[in-house]
Amino acid sequence: MTKLILTRHGQSVWNAENRFTGWVDVDLSNKGIKEAEKSGELIKELKIKIDVSYTSYLKRAIKTLTTILKINNLELKFNTAWQLNERHYGSLTGLNKEETKKEIGEEQFKKYRRSWDIAPPPMNAESEYQTLFSPLNSSIPVGMTPFTESLKDTYDRVVPFFESEIKKNLLENRNILISAHGNSLRALCKYLFNISDGKINQLEIPTGNPLVIELDNKLKINKNFYLDKIRSKEIVI
């Protein structure tokens, strides 16, 4: 039985400030560091071998992963992939969510934040936030860096990466750990659990709470569960 463990990074500084973060490379908050440590301890209790690990280009996910690996006494060379980055929030980047909701109205706010295929207006190419992106982004192929994304756009980069890079390791019965983001993991869960376009907006991925997905040799899901039962969320199907 192969295990795929999905972990959303611990709370970031901008999570704590209730700001749209997207591709801005903010760090973990003090709470987020503790959540990453708790994730590591919870995974350690599983007493399984983690064979391969993946994360995004963003330090909040990388630090969460390296913290988990350290606690589990693993010296794995982890794989970074821009395709696992958080969704790009376009012109909403940096804005306070509550203030934005009041300004544009709750209906439009929900469309931008939770719809399947509606993206916010694009970020200006001269935006100050462009300078706060990960330096690793320089390796992204020319023309591939977005200026805004819907969840569908995020799905369209996450799932092909899963299919081409991660799936082969699962088929070889390797246990995989992915440390990523709320929306990149939502996109992957939509694919894995076959969640409809209409219901994906209901899926919540808690920070710092590993989701274990057990797969058979044909990668059919046999079982799934969050390790922190108190903070677990239902997988809406």
Q: Supply the CATH number for residue 142's domain.
A: 3.40.50.1240
Residue 19 CB: number of other CB atoms within 10 A? 21
d(CA 228, CA 19): 25
Concatenating the DSSP letter of every residue in 53-114 gives EEE-SSHHHHHHHHHHHHHTT----PEE-GGGSPPP-GGGTT-BHHHHHHHH-HHHHHHHHH
| DSSP H helices in the chain | 13-16, 30-46, 59-71, 97-104, 106-114, 151-161, 167-171, 182-193
Look over the chain and give the mean of its residue pLDDT values, rounded to a whole number: 95
Q: Do the strands 211-215 and 79-80 form a parallel or antiparallel pair, or are they unpaired?
A: unpaired
Q: Does the pLDDT at position 236 exceed 70? A: yes
In a domain? residue 236: no
Q: Does the pLDDT at position 49 exceed 70? A: yes
Q: Active-site residue among 9, 35, 149, 181?
A: 9
Q: Please compute the mean of the pLDDT values over residues 208-230 and round it to a whole number.
A: 94
Main-chain dihedrals φ then ψ at residue 66, nearest 5 degrees: -65, -35
Which amino acid is located at 195 in the chain?
Answer: I
The answer to whether 42 and 18 are in contact (CB under 8 A) is no
Residue carrying the six token digits 């007493």: 47
230 CB contacts (<8 Å, ≥6 apart)?
none
Residue 111 CB: number of other CB atoms within 10 A? 18
The answer to whether 191 and 155 are in contact (CB under 8 A) is yes
In a domain? residue 237: no
In a domain? residue 59: yes
Is 86 among the catalytic positions? yes
What does the pLDDT read at residue 232?
Answer: 86
In a domain? residue 76: yes
**Residue ranges making up the domain that contains 220:** 2-231
In a domain? residue 215: yes
d(CA 89, CA 42): 31
In a domain? residue 20: yes
What does the pLDDT read at residue 237?
Answer: 67
Q: Active-site residue among 35, 86, 88, 181?
A: 86
Read off the DSSP letter of residue 121: P
* Confidence category of residue 75, pLDDT binned at 50, 70, 90: confident
Is 99 among the catalytic positions? no
In a domain? residue 34: yes
Read off the DSSP letter of residue 164: I
In a domain? residue 150: yes
pLDDT digits (tens, 9 = 90+) for 143-198: 999 999 999 999 999 999 999 999 999 999 999 999 999 999 999 999 999 999 99
d(CA 42, CA 36): 10
* Confidence category of residue 58, pLDDT binned at 50, 70, 90: very high
For the chain, what is the domain count?
1
* Confidence category of residue 234, pLDDT binned at 50, 70, 90: confident
